[in-house]
Structures are given as C-alpha cells and as structure tokens.
A = this chain, B = another copy of it.
Amino acid sequence: MSLRHGLLGLLAEGPASGYDLARRFTEVLGSVWPAQHPKIYAELNKLAGEGLVEVESEGPRRRKAYRITDAGVAEVKRWLTEVDVDHTMRLQPLLRSLFFWMMDRDELQQHLEAEARYYRDLAEQYTEYAARKDRGEFGYSEQTQSMRVTIEAGIRLYSALADWADWAQTVPPAKPSKGS
C-alpha cells in the first residue's frame, strides 16, 4: 500500500492532477517505485472517497486537480513515523547472479558488461540531476532537499551495482584448488 502514501506525499507538496502525478511517478520515481496511470487514477478516487484528498479544481480536458486534506497530511505523517519500513528488495539481477554458473563464459561476460553499462548510465543521470540541484536549479525548498537525498541514494545504489558488475567479471568461474 505504498502507492497510496506516495500519492499523498506528492500531493502534500501542492495540488496536482492524476496526469501530473503519473508523470512525476515515471520521471522521478520510475526506477525506485514504478506506477502506471490506471492504478494512480483508481487510488486517487479511493483517497477522495476516504476524504484524504479532495478535488481542488476541474480544468480543461476533464482535468481534475486534487488537493490533500488535513486528514491526508496526518495519514502520510502517521505512515512515515508509525508504520514499519518495508525493506523488501526484489532484484531480479541478483537472483540471476545466483545462476551465473549456468552461463557460458562469454555470454556471462557480455551480460555483465551490459549490466555495468546500464547501471553506470543511470548513476550518471542521477549524478547529473544532483549537480543541477546543487547548482540551485530547483531551488532550496525542503521538498527539493528531500529529493536530493533520494537522488543521492539512486547514485550510490546504481554506482554500487555498476562496480559490482565490473568486479564480477574478474571472478573466476570456479576457484581451482591450490597450485593449478
């Protein structure tokens, strides 16, 4: 049930429509918390029904902007402070790595190179984003400061994975016993 709180949190920064939220989810949160628009619209309707958000205004093209209510703000805060963090990490690349021994030497090589490139690219994108933030392009609000912290996690995580993929290429498939 984190999508729910993700939406509430984003709305706590200011009113937005489902469309806006969908964009923010794919742009900012795409790699750490993917969410499709159908889910977002559905959840917004539920949240409105529970009084955690309300329709702020109706714009062109049936656009509905939502505003978070006091109850909504209270709910995010409750979630942030009272609900245990879910540390579940479901990383297919790591699951796959358990089975590297089933791959040919050069298939594995190629795989690890592609992985390293993928992670390095993402790390660089996040680094670039962080640099823009640090240059002040997004201002110095509390919200962007939190975003900066999130971005830093992205940089560190993807760098770690890129380094790991590089390192893995140096590991021999099976360590021969002493003096081979």
Pick the most buried of A12, A32, A86: most chain B CB atoms within 10 A of its CB: A32
Q: How far is the CA of A97 from the CA of B150 in the complex (A)?
A: 6
Return the chain B residue nearest A28 by Cβ.
B98
Residue contact A161 to B153, C-beta cutoff 8 Å: yes
Q: A159: which of B31, B32, B160 is its contact (CB, 8 Å)?
A: B160
Give chain B residues whose Cβ lies under 8 Å from the Cβ of A73. Answer: 102
Contact residues of A with B, CB < 8 Å? 2, 5-6, 9-10, 12, 28-29, 31-34, 73, 76-77, 80-81, 85-103, 107, 111, 115, 118, 140-143, 145-150, 152-154, 156-157, 159-161, 163-164, 167-168, 171-177
Pick the most buried of A29, A77, A93, A163: most chain B CB atoms within 10 A of its CB: A93
Q: How many subunits of this chain does the assembly comprise?
A: 2
Given contacts A31-B89, A140-B177, contact A99 B115 (CB under 8 A): no
- Selected A-B contacts with CB under 8 Å, 18 pairs: A9-B98, A10-B98, A29-B95, A29-B98, A31-B87, A31-B89, A73-B102, A76-B99, A80-B99, A85-B96, A85-B115, A88-B90, A89-B89, A97-B146, A140-B175, A149-B168, A156-B160, A156-B164
Majority secondary structure, A binding face: helix
Residue contact B149 to A171, C-beta cutoff 8 Å: yes
